[in-house]
A and B are shown apart, each in its own frame.
Chain A
Amino acid sequence: QSALTQPASVSGSPGQSITISCTGNRSDVGVYNYVSWYQQHPGKAPKVMIYEVSNRPSGVSNRFSGSKSGNTASLTISGLQAEDEADYYCSSYTSTSTPFVFGTGTKVTVL
């Protein structure tokens, strides 16, 4: 089971928008609309920010949005804030031996 591919790092200035990509294949991202995104601050457990490609759980800022096209999903953070600096992981339901697969992770830096 191969991890989904994410850029290692993305950076932006406060107030800017950034987008993180997540590329899978036809056994995961390309087939299912069950892509989720997790935010993880150092030393903390992951927190879900987006589920089912573009849905936000209650309490998550509307500055976070998700989308998908073909085998690639994306997370966009608009109006970047210092508190958004963290690691972000995508995940997808998969038809392989385990129900979920994670992305390689992206470190977001707020300049």
Chain B
Amino acid sequence: EVQLVESGGGLVQPGGSLRLSCAASGFPFSRYAMHWVRQAPGKGLEYVSAISRSGDSTYYANSVKGRFTVSRDNSKNTLYLHMGSLRTEDMAVYYCATEAYGSSGYSMYFLDYWGQGTLVTVSS
């Protein structure tokens, strides 16, 4: 069974930093690109970041570029999101999700499995 468990959320002051983790199990983690999506309280989904299977390629929404860094440790089956210079508008539930692949191994360009999310609160 595929499981994604986010952790590391909590209360942080504006300007502070936080590192989120996403522990994966039940699938060959190193073969999947991984993604972060967030949802501010009462708001819609916002795409945040992605990382390729090997970690060589990373992608960021303009709203977090230069402040957030996505990384992964395939030996530990864990995805990370390092968040710096946090702003009140970064307050949200952060989800990690897997990219879906077909039987041929090519991406199907949708997010297949999602974690339960971890809440980041940015407040003084």
A105 to B46, alpha carbons, bound, how many Å? 10
Contact with A along B26-60 (1 / 0, CB 8 A): 00000000010100000011110110000000011
The smallest beta-carbon distance between B32 and chain A, in angstroms, is 13
- Chain B: interface secondary structure? strand
Q: Is B112 an interface residue (CB 8 A)?
A: yes
A residues 29-62 in Cβ contact with B at 8 Å: 32, 34, 36, 38, 40, 45-48, 51-52
Contact with B along A70-101 (1 / 0, CB 8 A): 00000000000000000101010100011111
Closest to A105 in B: B44
CA distance A48 to B44 in the complex (A): 15
Q: Tell me the count of chain A residues lying within 8 A, CB to CB, of chain B.
A: 26
User: Quick check: is A69 within 8 A (CB to CB) of the other chain?
Assistant: no
Task: Answer yes or no: A11 CB below 8 A from chain B CBs.
Answer: no
**CB pair A3 B117 closer than 8 Å:** no
Is the C-beta of B61 less than 8 angstroms from some C-beta in chain A?
yes
Contact B62–A34 (Cβ < 8 Å): no
> Quick check: A102 and B45 within 8 Å, CB to CB?
yes
Q: Please, which residues of chain A bring their CB within 8 A of the CB of B117?
A: 45
Chain B residue with Cβ nearest A45: B114
Chain A residues near B50 (CB-CB < 8 A): 98-100
Given A34-B109, A48-B112, A1 and B62 touching (CB < 8 A)?
Answer: yes
| Residues in A whose Cβ lies below 8 Å from that of B37 | 46, 102
Given contacts A1-B61, A45-B95, A45-B117, contact A102 B112 (CB under 8 A): no
What are 11 A-to-B residue pairs whose CB atoms are below 8 Å? A34-B108, A46-B45, A47-B114, A48-B100, A87-B44, A89-B44, A91-B45, A93-B109, A97-B61, A99-B109, A100-B50
Q: Which residues of B contact A (CB under 8 A)?
A: 35, 37, 44-47, 49-50, 59-62, 65, 95, 100, 108-112, 114-117
